[in-house]
Structure 1
């Protein structure tokens, strides 16, 4: 009697339950995998778009300011007093230039690790806060305001008004500008004295001219209508990053290069030249066509093309063909997401 009163499930019922459970579980797993693939693709897309946007912002900000020297603009009196004034780091008379399709060995003075086949961009301009000149200079010094702001300098170097000893500076008014290296900063009676002539034991590159300035020569006099600003040379290029992936890099004033953005696979540049004298670009050319300083002075815009890839592979179901700089790649060899970014940036001091 007790045996008859017991109830349970049969083997058939158990097998049916397991089968239904497996069907339901398969659907759940498929939904999970589909959601995960969608999430990975969307995440890769957002990172690619963010990388492209930031890269364009970095490049555009510097390109717009190329040749900026305070009040001074294009075609005004400019003089570079530095030693090695024609070198890559100190040729401030050429505001913008670059390399096209870098070979296995980049040109001298450029970073040695530039990715072969990509372009490199050099931008020179004044940057940072300006310091006002308080009275006319003499043959050895400029006299500027002491703003009380200090800067992070190399060990043992003094800093006043955000400037450091051995900085490359420009002093300019609305008619002329001079680039020099300051080798001594000191304050006297609340006035900042900026030494403009002596090379100094640690100065590199140093100043080529032993003296300049004074009230006797208006072309060398910088008074209260003038300002002093730090000069910078920035090089943008593509190279392998710390993870091994190609990245956008920046080197400032010959210092240690910084990896800005991972995933920038290629950068190609075209330079808009004004050949008619109306300050409007008439033709866009590659860097290897622009071979003289005068030709670079005609550049009033830069067209930037960036190819950005996702940092993760296998974010797409199939390999993604893409077209960049007029060339189509139908077999990229991976399943990364790629996007092309194009922007034309004008140089403010050279446009109407």
Structure 2
């Protein structure tokens, strides 16, 4: 009788080699997966910071460019527009605070006078907006897309011939933390419904430096912070009309810890910084020309 054939098995050495190869392949696959996942999270965080920061910068830039805008009524020197206060006097298009507003949030009465510090910068812009209302295009609304109510034009003002009413948007941008959160958030307070809406979280710095021209000139001769602009003279409206450009800087921090190594960057002051907490930082900087302010600054200085 024939004996059945003996099936050869794996030797101990072969089994150890195959196990080692399998473990190496598994380790390699896991490493590649984790590396790809970390790279994706890093890229996603960079993209989110870029998009969120660009949106906030774009909104602030658009508001600054509109500061002081009004429809021309008379082309004299100075020119007369329908950008006016309730009593018919010319309105103020720009105002800044080096250390933020006093109490811009809270359930009590809000105070938008300048705070004594410490705190990040804040600013206020006003301009004549459109008479028709369309939140999609931004016509007739504030920075939060709420309708701006019309204001009566005094019947003895030259702008009354254009329209008996005007809409003046007044938007205030500032960084603060809400009472129930420690996160620094960029807000805009609009006069459409007199409320503040958050625009961007994790803001570490908002800085504005103002290019100031001499009276009768439209070229900035000095770069000042808000406190220095306010100290130019006792006439605050005249001081801020001399501002013809703004250097705007925004620094934000990512929400996730995705950095594999400390990040080196320059802050809004141009100082070299190292972030070792694995959270990404992004710094945005723009210089905005205030066309309406530049035109106003060309008016002759008041007589002594």
Q: TM-score, normalised by structure 2?
A: 0.74
| CA deviation after TM superposition for structure 1 residue 250, in Å | 0.6
Q: CA RMSD in A?
A: 3.6
Distance 2:23 2:158 in 1: 88
* 3-state secondary structure, aligned to 2:72: coil
Distance 1:339 1:15 in 2: 51
1:76 aligns with 2:15: no
- Which residue in the other structure is 1:323 paired with? 266
| CA deviation after TM superposition for structure 1 residue 285, in Å | 0.8
User: What is the number of residues matched between the two proteins?
Assistant: 268
Q: Rate the CA distance shift 1:112–1:6 in 2: closer, same or farther, 3 A.
A: farther
1:302 to 240, 246, 253: 246
| CA deviation after TM superposition for structure 1 residue 278, in Å | 2.3
* 3-state secondary structure, aligned to 1:81: coil
Distance 1:278 1:341 in 2: 29
User: 8 Å contact 2:100–2:114 — kept in the other structure?
Assistant: no
User: 8 Å contact 1:247–1:259 — kept in the other structure?
Assistant: yes
Q: Rate the CA distance shift 1:114–1:332 in 2: closer, same or farther, 3 A.
A: farther
* 3-state secondary structure, aligned to 1:110: strand
Q: Which runs of structure 2 are paired with 1:77-226 in the superposition (5 Å)?
A: 80-81=85-86, 93-102=91-100, 106=103, 109-110=111-112, 116-130=118-132, 167-169=149-151, 178=153, 212-213=154-155, 219=157, 222-223=160-161, 225-226=162-163
Please, which runs of 5 or more residues in structure 1 have no aligned partner?
86-90, 132-150, 153-161, 171-177, 179-211
Please, which runs of 5 or more residues in structure 2 have no aligned partner?
105-109, 134-139, 231-235, 296-304
Higher helix fraction (1 or 2): 2
- Which residue in the other structure is 1:240 paired with? 177
Deviations 1:275-311 (A, max 9, x none): 1522222222100112222111111111101112222
- Which residue in the other structure is 1:312 paired with? 256
Q: Rate the CA distance shift 1:7–1:45 in 2: closer, same or farther, 3 A.
A: same
| CA deviation after TM superposition for structure 1 residue 55, in Å | 1.4
User: 8 Å contact 2:248–2:287 — kept in the other structure?
Assistant: yes
User: 8 Å contact 2:242–2:294 — kept in the other structure?
Assistant: no
Distance 1:37 1:54 in 2: 26
| CA deviation after TM superposition for structure 1 residue 116, in Å | 4.7
| CA deviation after TM superposition for structure 1 residue 29, in Å | 1.4
User: 8 Å contact 1:270–1:304 — kept in the other structure?
Assistant: yes
User: 8 Å contact 1:100–1:119 — kept in the other structure?
Assistant: yes
Distance 2:199 2:245 in 1: 23
Distance 1:101 1:36 in 2: 41
Distance 2:240 2:3 in 1: 103
Q: Rate the CA distance shift 1:232–1:243 in 2: closer, same or farther, 3 A.
A: same
RCO greater where, 1 or 2, for CA within 8 Å and sep 6 or more?
1
